[in-house]
Amino acid sequence: MDNSAWYPKIWILYPSNQNPISVNYGDYFKAAAEFQIIVNSIGSSAFPRIGSQANLSSKQAQDFYSKLRKWYHCLPDSLSITNVVLPWQLSLHMHYFNLINWLMEPFTVPETTYTGGEATGASSFQAVEETVPEALVINAKISLETVFRLYYMRHGFEIFDPLMLQFHSFVGFMALKELSDGREKPPGLVKALQSTLALATLGLRDQGKNSYLGDTIFRILRDMAASKHALPANEIIAMSKEDEDTKAEIAEHINSQFPINVVSIADDPEPHRVESLISQYKEIELDNESDRSEMGCSPRDC
């Protein structure tokens, strides 16, 4: 690494180890800085002015993808996907796969979808080339979910990480979309998608213990999953131990333009902003309370 003296050396000692180990922070700092330069270039092209949005051309997307791919393949050994173990290392990989999906999704054909590790539709990997948008998007989604599960297995989701809100939201809504698209699926695939949805939803619940935004996204995803019967009723009930004081605080304090369930850089973020979804959520709540009143019971009793 050039100018290694610029980067601090950080060592950690695990209880089971006798000697401290280096976290190779210099490798991470350099790689993250280079990645953010590319992210900034994509953002400047897609959002040239405040409040404006431009559609990237296919050539622009391919050029950005080439830069991202070169960056990814030049990662040092300490950041290789086969070696990463620490939270910020895993998050860097998830951010990469998430960005590939956003970048290439607008250029996929509508008939091609991700179904928990399988490709269906027009392309179906008939030409398995890395530059085919459908293949790139499907591989990015599979890779993101894989690293997402690795993160959970190694570290859990209890520790608050604002960046993880994006990954929980993306993975959760992606699984919900596949479960509720009306297509017939093998039981094994349904079970796998439900497992992914439940993991992302519970992760949002854990993150919500430290953030109103996380709690709000958790409630939106949970209630959408319930309304579309995407999860077994017993799992929804287990997630639904409502705290009325917390609900009141969320309604009072949440004021967020954060967009959720956005799958591509070409999507209009306005309908997906938390404030817009909260308005829809409140309407659902009113409808539910009306239904309960007709049944002759209070919201707490039904």
Structural domain total, the chain: 2
Do 59 and 179 fall within a single domain? no
Do 283 and 171 fall within a single domain? yes
Do 147 and 223 fall within a single domain? no
List CB contacts of 187: < 8 A, sequence separation 6 or more: none
Domain that holds residue 251: 161-292
Q: Which of the listed residues 120, 155, 190 is the one where a domain comes to its end? A: 155
Do 143 and 166 fall within a single domain? no
Residue 122 lies in a domain: no
At 243-254, the pLDDT tens digits run: 555 665 665 555
Mean pLDDT for 84-96 is 95
pLDDT at residue 101 in the model = 92
At 140-195, the pLDDT tens digits run: 999 999 999 999 999 999 999 989 999 999 999 999 989 988 888 899 999 999 99
pTM score: 0.78
Do 195 and 101 fall within a single domain? no
Rounded to the nearest integer, the mean pLDDT of the chain is: 79
Do 64 and 183 fall within a single domain? no
Long-range contacts at 153-157 (CB < 8 A, ≥ 24 apart)? 154/85, 154/90, 155/87, 155/90, 156/206, 157/202, 157/203, 157/206, 157/207
pLDDT at residue 297 in the model = 45
Residue 124 lies in a domain: no
> How far, in Å, CA of 213 to CA of 70, rounded?
35
